[in-house]
Amino acid sequence: MRFVDEYRDPDAARLYAQALERITTKNWTIMEVCGGQTHSIVKFGIDELLPPAVTLVHGPGCPVCVTPLELIEKAIEIASIPEVIFCSFGDMLRVPGSSKDLLTVKASGGNIRIVYSPLDAVKIAIENPDRQVVFFAVGFETTAPANAMAVFQAHQKNVQNFSMLVSHVLVPPAIEAILSSRDNRVQGFLAAGHVCAVMGWLEYEPIALEYKVPIVVTGFEPVDILQGVYMCVRQLEEGRAEVENQYSRTVRKEGNIAAQKLIREIFHVVPRKWRGIGEIPRSGLGLQEKYKSYDAEVRFGIAGHSAEEPPECISGLILQGIKKPGECPAFGTVCTPEHPLGATMVSSEGACAAYYHYRRTKH
Protein backbone atom coordinates (compact mmCIF):
# COMPACT_ATOMS: atom_id res chain seq x y z
CA MET A 1 0.00 0.00 0.00
CA ARG A 2 2.76 2.35 -1.03
CA PHE A 3 0.73 5.55 -1.63
CA VAL A 4 -1.97 5.15 1.01
CA ASP A 5 -0.44 7.58 3.49
CA GLU A 6 -0.80 10.33 0.84
CA TYR A 7 -4.58 9.85 0.68
CA ARG A 8 -6.86 12.33 2.40
CA ASP A 9 -8.23 9.46 4.51
CA PRO A 10 -5.72 6.59 4.59
CA ASP A 11 -7.59 4.64 7.27
CA ALA A 12 -10.79 4.53 5.18
CA ALA A 13 -8.74 3.41 2.16
CA ARG A 14 -7.21 0.55 4.14
CA LEU A 15 -10.65 -0.51 5.40
CA TYR A 16 -12.07 -0.65 1.85
CA ALA A 17 -9.03 -2.57 0.61
CA GLN A 18 -9.47 -5.10 3.43
CA ALA A 19 -13.24 -5.33 2.82
CA LEU A 20 -12.60 -6.01 -0.87
CA GLU A 21 -10.21 -8.83 0.08
CA ARG A 22 -12.92 -10.35 2.24
CA ILE A 23 -15.78 -10.25 -0.30
CA THR A 24 -13.94 -11.12 -3.55
CA THR A 25 -14.27 -14.77 -4.54
CA LYS A 26 -13.99 -14.59 -8.37
CA ASN A 27 -12.17 -12.66 -11.09
CA TRP A 28 -13.90 -9.40 -11.97
CA THR A 29 -13.09 -6.71 -14.55
CA ILE A 30 -14.37 -3.22 -13.84
CA MET A 31 -14.06 -0.16 -16.06
CA GLU A 32 -13.75 3.39 -14.79
CA VAL A 33 -15.20 5.48 -17.59
CA CYS A 34 -13.64 8.82 -16.70
CA GLY A 35 -10.09 9.88 -17.57
CA GLY A 36 -9.87 11.87 -14.33
CA GLN A 37 -10.53 8.67 -12.39
CA THR A 38 -7.93 6.85 -14.52
CA HIS A 39 -5.33 9.40 -13.47
CA SER A 40 -6.28 9.07 -9.79
CA ILE A 41 -6.04 5.27 -10.04
CA VAL A 42 -2.62 5.28 -11.69
CA LYS A 43 -1.19 8.21 -9.73
CA PHE A 44 -2.25 6.90 -6.31
CA GLY A 45 -1.72 3.22 -7.07
CA ILE A 46 -5.36 2.40 -6.31
CA ASP A 47 -5.24 -0.64 -8.59
CA GLU A 48 -2.34 -1.98 -6.49
CA LEU A 49 -4.55 -1.94 -3.39
CA LEU A 50 -7.11 -4.26 -4.95
CA PRO A 51 -7.20 -8.04 -4.64
CA PRO A 52 -5.43 -9.64 -7.65
CA ALA A 53 -8.81 -10.98 -8.80
CA VAL A 54 -10.14 -7.45 -9.40
CA THR A 55 -8.86 -5.80 -12.59
CA LEU A 56 -9.50 -2.18 -13.47
CA VAL A 57 -9.55 -1.25 -17.17
CA HIS A 58 -9.69 2.29 -18.47
CA GLY A 59 -12.58 3.66 -20.48
CA PRO A 60 -13.25 6.27 -23.16
CA GLY A 61 -13.99 9.15 -20.77
CA CYS A 62 -11.21 11.49 -21.84
CA PRO A 63 -12.82 14.05 -24.16
CA VAL A 64 -9.55 15.08 -25.77
CA CYS A 65 -8.70 11.44 -26.53
CA VAL A 66 -11.97 10.62 -28.29
CA THR A 67 -12.21 13.77 -30.43
CA PRO A 68 -11.90 12.30 -33.93
CA LEU A 69 -8.90 13.06 -36.08
CA GLU A 70 -11.20 14.60 -38.71
CA LEU A 71 -12.34 17.21 -36.18
CA ILE A 72 -8.71 18.02 -35.30
CA GLU A 73 -8.06 18.49 -39.03
CA LYS A 74 -11.08 20.81 -39.28
CA ALA A 75 -9.86 22.77 -36.24
CA ILE A 76 -6.44 23.15 -37.85
CA GLU A 77 -8.03 24.33 -41.11
CA ILE A 78 -10.25 26.90 -39.40
CA ALA A 79 -7.46 28.12 -37.08
CA SER A 80 -5.26 28.70 -40.14
CA ILE A 81 -7.70 31.22 -41.66
CA PRO A 82 -6.11 34.68 -41.18
CA GLU A 83 -9.24 36.50 -39.91
CA VAL A 84 -10.05 33.82 -37.33
CA ILE A 85 -9.29 33.94 -33.61
CA PHE A 86 -9.45 30.28 -32.58
CA CYS A 87 -10.16 29.63 -28.89
CA SER A 88 -9.59 26.31 -27.18
CA PHE A 89 -8.83 24.61 -23.90
CA GLY A 90 -5.06 24.18 -23.66
CA ASP A 91 -4.86 20.41 -23.90
CA MET A 92 -6.34 20.37 -27.42
CA LEU A 93 -3.35 22.26 -28.83
CA ARG A 94 -0.93 19.34 -28.80
CA VAL A 95 -3.34 16.66 -30.02
CA PRO A 96 -1.74 15.36 -33.21
CA GLY A 97 -3.62 15.72 -36.48
CA SER A 98 -2.43 13.71 -39.45
CA SER A 99 0.51 16.04 -40.16
CA LYS A 100 0.53 18.80 -37.52
CA ASP A 101 -1.24 20.09 -34.41
CA LEU A 102 -2.84 23.38 -33.38
CA LEU A 103 0.35 24.41 -31.58
CA THR A 104 2.19 24.26 -34.93
CA VAL A 105 -0.48 26.53 -36.44
CA LYS A 106 0.00 28.94 -33.52
CA ALA A 107 3.79 28.88 -33.97
CA SER A 108 3.29 29.74 -37.66
CA GLY A 109 1.30 32.85 -36.74
CA GLY A 110 -2.22 31.51 -36.28
CA ASN A 111 -4.25 33.51 -33.78
CA ILE A 112 -4.97 30.69 -31.32
CA ARG A 113 -5.89 31.55 -27.75
CA ILE A 114 -6.14 29.27 -24.74
CA VAL A 115 -9.28 30.02 -22.76
CA TYR A 116 -10.63 28.58 -19.53
CA SER A 117 -14.31 29.03 -20.35
CA PRO A 118 -16.34 29.23 -23.56
CA LEU A 119 -17.76 32.48 -22.18
CA ASP A 120 -14.24 33.96 -22.53
CA ALA A 121 -14.50 33.23 -26.26
CA VAL A 122 -17.82 35.13 -26.46
CA LYS A 123 -16.12 38.06 -24.69
CA ILE A 124 -13.23 37.96 -27.19
CA ALA A 125 -15.80 38.03 -30.03
CA ILE A 126 -17.48 41.10 -28.55
CA GLU A 127 -14.09 42.83 -28.20
CA ASN A 128 -13.04 41.93 -31.77
CA PRO A 129 -16.06 42.63 -33.98
CA ASP A 130 -13.94 42.60 -37.17
CA ARG A 131 -12.67 39.02 -36.54
CA GLN A 132 -14.39 35.63 -36.58
CA VAL A 133 -14.03 33.98 -33.16
CA VAL A 134 -14.38 30.19 -33.00
CA PHE A 135 -14.51 28.08 -29.84
CA PHE A 136 -13.50 24.41 -30.00
CA ALA A 137 -16.32 22.85 -27.95
CA VAL A 138 -14.97 19.49 -26.85
CA GLY A 139 -16.28 17.44 -23.97
CA PHE A 140 -18.80 15.17 -22.33
CA GLU A 141 -22.04 16.13 -20.60
CA THR A 142 -19.94 17.93 -17.96
CA THR A 143 -18.91 20.80 -20.23
CA ALA A 144 -22.13 20.90 -22.26
CA PRO A 145 -23.96 23.38 -19.96
CA ALA A 146 -21.17 25.99 -20.19
CA ASN A 147 -20.89 25.54 -23.95
CA ALA A 148 -24.67 25.81 -24.28
CA MET A 149 -24.58 28.97 -22.18
CA ALA A 150 -21.95 30.50 -24.51
CA VAL A 151 -24.20 29.99 -27.56
CA PHE A 152 -27.22 31.20 -25.60
CA GLN A 153 -25.39 34.38 -24.56
CA ALA A 154 -24.04 35.00 -28.07
CA HIS A 155 -27.60 34.67 -29.38
CA GLN A 156 -29.04 36.95 -26.68
CA LYS A 157 -26.40 39.60 -27.32
CA ASN A 158 -26.56 39.19 -31.11
CA VAL A 159 -22.83 38.37 -31.32
CA GLN A 160 -22.66 37.33 -34.96
CA ASN A 161 -18.89 36.81 -35.23
CA PHE A 162 -18.92 33.92 -32.71
CA SER A 163 -19.22 30.24 -33.64
CA MET A 164 -18.39 26.81 -32.27
CA LEU A 165 -16.66 23.74 -33.65
CA VAL A 166 -18.67 21.14 -31.75
CA SER A 167 -17.35 17.73 -30.73
CA HIS A 168 -19.58 16.82 -27.80
CA VAL A 169 -19.94 13.19 -26.75
CA LEU A 170 -22.25 11.35 -24.36
CA VAL A 171 -21.33 8.61 -21.88
CA PRO A 172 -24.31 6.17 -21.85
CA PRO A 173 -24.14 5.31 -25.61
CA ALA A 174 -20.39 4.66 -25.23
CA ILE A 175 -21.04 2.24 -22.35
CA GLU A 176 -23.61 0.46 -24.52
CA ALA A 177 -21.15 0.26 -27.43
CA ILE A 178 -18.51 -1.31 -25.15
CA LEU A 179 -21.01 -3.81 -23.75
CA SER A 180 -22.22 -4.72 -27.24
CA SER A 181 -18.72 -5.41 -28.53
CA ARG A 182 -17.76 -9.04 -29.20
CA ASP A 183 -14.47 -8.40 -27.39
CA ASN A 184 -16.02 -6.91 -24.28
CA ARG A 185 -14.61 -8.11 -20.98
CA VAL A 186 -16.06 -5.41 -18.70
CA GLN A 187 -18.44 -6.74 -16.02
CA GLY A 188 -19.11 -3.56 -14.05
CA PHE A 189 -18.69 0.20 -14.44
CA LEU A 190 -17.72 3.16 -12.33
CA ALA A 191 -19.76 6.00 -13.85
CA ALA A 192 -18.22 9.48 -13.71
CA GLY A 193 -19.53 11.52 -10.78
CA HIS A 194 -19.25 14.91 -12.51
CA VAL A 195 -21.17 13.73 -15.60
CA CYS A 196 -23.93 12.39 -13.34
CA ALA A 197 -23.95 15.64 -11.34
CA VAL A 198 -25.30 17.22 -14.54
CA MET A 199 -27.33 14.36 -16.02
CA GLY A 200 -28.31 12.27 -12.97
CA TRP A 201 -28.28 8.50 -13.35
CA LEU A 202 -31.72 7.64 -14.75
CA GLU A 203 -30.18 6.99 -18.19
CA TYR A 204 -27.99 4.24 -16.71
CA GLU A 205 -30.81 2.14 -15.25
CA PRO A 206 -31.97 0.59 -18.57
CA ILE A 207 -28.31 -0.24 -19.39
CA ALA A 208 -27.76 -2.00 -16.05
CA LEU A 209 -31.00 -3.91 -16.58
CA GLU A 210 -30.44 -4.91 -20.23
CA TYR A 211 -26.77 -5.87 -19.99
CA LYS A 212 -26.91 -7.12 -16.39
CA VAL A 213 -23.99 -4.95 -15.26
CA PRO A 214 -23.64 -3.03 -12.01
CA ILE A 215 -22.98 0.68 -12.52
CA VAL A 216 -21.75 2.74 -9.56
CA VAL A 217 -21.72 6.54 -9.82
CA THR A 218 -18.32 7.36 -8.32
CA GLY A 219 -16.30 10.40 -7.26
CA PHE A 220 -12.64 11.21 -7.78
CA GLU A 221 -10.81 11.01 -4.45
CA PRO A 222 -8.88 7.75 -3.99
CA VAL A 223 -11.28 6.69 -1.23
CA ASP A 224 -14.27 7.46 -3.49
CA ILE A 225 -12.84 5.18 -6.14
CA LEU A 226 -12.07 2.40 -3.65
CA GLN A 227 -15.60 2.62 -2.28
CA GLY A 228 -17.00 2.62 -5.85
CA VAL A 229 -15.00 -0.53 -6.67
CA TYR A 230 -16.15 -2.12 -3.41
CA MET A 231 -19.82 -1.36 -4.21
CA CYS A 232 -19.40 -2.74 -7.73
CA VAL A 233 -17.68 -5.95 -6.58
CA ARG A 234 -20.29 -6.45 -3.86
CA GLN A 235 -23.05 -6.31 -6.50
CA LEU A 236 -21.15 -8.72 -8.75
CA GLU A 237 -20.59 -11.16 -5.90
CA GLU A 238 -24.26 -10.97 -4.91
CA GLY A 239 -25.47 -11.36 -8.52
CA ARG A 240 -27.06 -7.91 -8.61
CA ALA A 241 -26.92 -5.43 -11.51
CA GLU A 242 -28.17 -2.06 -10.32
CA VAL A 243 -27.22 1.60 -10.46
CA GLU A 244 -25.84 2.76 -7.11
CA ASN A 245 -24.56 6.17 -6.10
CA GLN A 246 -21.25 6.35 -4.23
CA TYR A 247 -20.99 10.12 -4.90
CA SER A 248 -24.15 11.07 -3.02
CA ARG A 249 -22.57 14.22 -1.59
CA THR A 250 -22.76 15.70 -5.11
CA VAL A 251 -25.03 13.65 -7.37
CA ARG A 252 -28.81 13.45 -7.30
CA LYS A 253 -30.78 10.86 -9.25
CA GLU A 254 -32.41 13.45 -11.52
CA GLY A 255 -29.22 15.52 -11.92
CA ASN A 256 -29.21 19.26 -12.53
CA ILE A 257 -32.55 19.97 -14.19
CA ALA A 258 -31.74 23.59 -15.10
CA ALA A 259 -28.49 22.57 -16.80
CA GLN A 260 -30.25 19.77 -18.73
CA LYS A 261 -32.92 22.25 -19.89
CA LEU A 262 -30.24 24.60 -21.23
CA ILE A 263 -28.44 21.72 -22.98
CA ARG A 264 -31.70 20.68 -24.69
CA GLU A 265 -32.42 24.26 -25.74
CA ILE A 266 -29.09 24.57 -27.60
CA PHE A 267 -28.13 21.00 -28.58
CA HIS A 268 -29.79 17.88 -29.92
CA VAL A 269 -28.54 14.30 -29.98
CA VAL A 270 -26.59 13.27 -33.10
CA PRO A 271 -24.44 10.31 -34.17
CA ARG A 272 -20.80 11.01 -33.34
CA LYS A 273 -17.51 9.46 -34.38
CA TRP A 274 -15.15 8.60 -31.48
CA ARG A 275 -11.42 8.60 -32.14
CA GLY A 276 -10.12 5.05 -32.32
CA ILE A 277 -13.60 3.57 -31.82
CA GLY A 278 -15.68 4.74 -34.77
CA GLU A 279 -19.19 6.10 -35.07
CA ILE A 280 -21.61 5.41 -32.22
CA PRO A 281 -25.30 6.18 -32.89
CA ARG A 282 -26.89 8.92 -30.75
CA SER A 283 -23.61 9.46 -28.90
CA GLY A 284 -22.99 13.17 -29.47
CA LEU A 285 -24.50 16.62 -29.33
CA GLY A 286 -24.89 18.98 -32.28
CA LEU A 287 -26.38 22.45 -32.46
CA GLN A 288 -30.16 22.70 -32.82
CA GLU A 289 -31.42 24.05 -36.15
CA LYS A 290 -32.33 27.36 -34.44
CA TYR A 291 -28.63 27.86 -33.51
CA LYS A 292 -27.10 26.39 -36.69
CA SER A 293 -25.66 29.79 -37.64
CA TYR A 294 -23.25 29.35 -34.69
CA ASP A 295 -21.90 26.11 -36.18
CA ALA A 296 -18.33 26.78 -37.36
CA GLU A 297 -18.46 23.84 -39.82
CA VAL A 298 -21.42 25.50 -41.56
CA ARG A 299 -20.01 29.01 -41.32
CA PHE A 300 -16.66 28.10 -42.87
CA GLY A 301 -17.99 25.44 -45.22
CA ILE A 302 -15.63 22.84 -43.76
CA ALA A 303 -16.67 19.28 -44.52
CA GLY A 304 -15.49 15.88 -45.59
CA HIS A 305 -12.07 15.53 -43.96
CA SER A 306 -10.79 12.00 -43.77
CA ALA A 307 -7.66 11.12 -41.86
CA GLU A 308 -5.88 7.94 -40.83
CA GLU A 309 -4.55 7.05 -37.37
CA PRO A 310 -0.87 6.05 -37.15
CA PRO A 311 -0.97 2.25 -37.69
CA GLU A 312 1.01 1.46 -34.53
CA CYS A 313 -1.41 3.32 -32.22
CA ILE A 314 -3.81 1.02 -30.35
CA SER A 315 -5.57 3.81 -28.43
CA GLY A 316 -8.96 2.61 -29.73
CA LEU A 317 -8.46 -0.73 -27.95
CA ILE A 318 -7.25 1.04 -24.80
CA LEU A 319 -10.32 3.32 -24.79
CA GLN A 320 -12.56 0.24 -24.90
CA GLY A 321 -10.76 -1.52 -22.05
CA ILE A 322 -9.48 -4.27 -24.34
CA LYS A 323 -5.77 -3.41 -23.93
CA LYS A 324 -3.67 -1.41 -21.46
CA PRO A 325 -1.10 1.24 -22.47
CA GLY A 326 1.87 -1.01 -21.71
CA GLU A 327 0.62 -3.47 -24.34
CA CYS A 328 1.27 -0.90 -27.08
CA PRO A 329 4.70 -1.54 -28.68
CA ALA A 330 5.14 2.22 -29.18
CA PHE A 331 4.56 3.08 -25.48
CA GLY A 332 7.51 5.02 -24.08
CA THR A 333 9.64 4.35 -27.15
CA VAL A 334 8.43 6.09 -30.30
CA CYS A 335 5.37 7.46 -28.45
CA THR A 336 6.02 9.78 -25.49
CA PRO A 337 4.28 12.95 -24.25
CA GLU A 338 6.98 14.97 -26.09
CA HIS A 339 6.31 13.06 -29.34
CA PRO A 340 2.80 11.60 -29.01
CA LEU A 341 1.40 9.36 -31.72
CA GLY A 342 -2.10 9.22 -30.28
CA ALA A 343 -4.33 11.47 -28.22
CA THR A 344 -4.24 9.17 -25.19
CA MET A 345 -0.56 10.13 -24.76
CA VAL A 346 -1.24 13.89 -25.03
CA SER A 347 -4.20 14.63 -22.88
CA SER A 348 -3.86 15.22 -19.18
CA GLU A 349 -6.66 12.65 -18.82
CA GLY A 350 -5.30 10.11 -21.32
CA ALA A 351 -4.51 6.60 -20.06
CA CYS A 352 -1.16 6.39 -21.92
CA ALA A 353 -0.05 9.71 -20.43
CA ALA A 354 -1.08 8.54 -16.95
CA TYR A 355 1.02 5.37 -17.21
CA TYR A 356 3.94 7.30 -18.70
CA HIS A 357 3.93 10.01 -16.01
CA TYR A 358 3.36 7.80 -12.98
CA ARG A 359 4.67 4.34 -13.88
CA ARG A 360 6.76 4.24 -17.06
CA THR A 361 6.36 0.49 -16.91
CA LYS A 362 4.66 -2.01 -19.11
CA HIS A 363 1.98 -2.71 -16.48
Given the rule CB under 6 A, which residues bind ligand SF4?
312-315, 318, 325, 328, 330-331, 335, 340-342, 344-345, 352
CB of 56 to ligand SF4, least distance (A): 17
Taking the least distance from each CB to ligand SF4, the nearer of 219 and 332 is 332
CB of 350 to ligand SF4, least distance (A): 7
Which residues are CB-contacts of 18 (< 8 A; sequence separation ≥ 6)?
A: none
Taking the least distance from each CB to ligand SF4, the nearer of 70 and 224 is 70
Taking the least distance from each CB to ligand SF4, the nearer of 16 and 331 is 331
Taking the least distance from each CB to ligand SF4, the nearer of 109 and 329 is 329
Q: Which residue is nearest to ligand SF4 (CB)?
A: 342
The 3-state DSSP composition of the chain as helix, strand, coil percent (nearest 5) reads: 45, 20, 35
Taking the least distance from each CB to ligand SF4, the nearer of 59 and 340 is 340
- Helices 257-266 & 144-156, crossing angle to 10 degrees? 60
CB of 120 to ligand SF4, least distance (A): 29
User: Helices (DSSP H) in 57-204: which residue ranges?
Assistant: 63-66, 69-79, 102-107, 118-127, 144-156, 171-180, 193-199
Q: How many residues does the chain have?
A: 363
Integer angstrom CA distances of residue 223 from 129, 239, 250: 49, 24, 15
CB of 345 to ligand SF4, least distance (A): 4
CB of 316 to ligand SF4, least distance (A): 8
Which residues are CB-contacts of 107 (< 8 A; sequence separation ≥ 6)?
A: none
- As a whole number of Å, the CA-based R_g of the chain is 21
CB of 179 to ligand SF4, least distance (A): 22
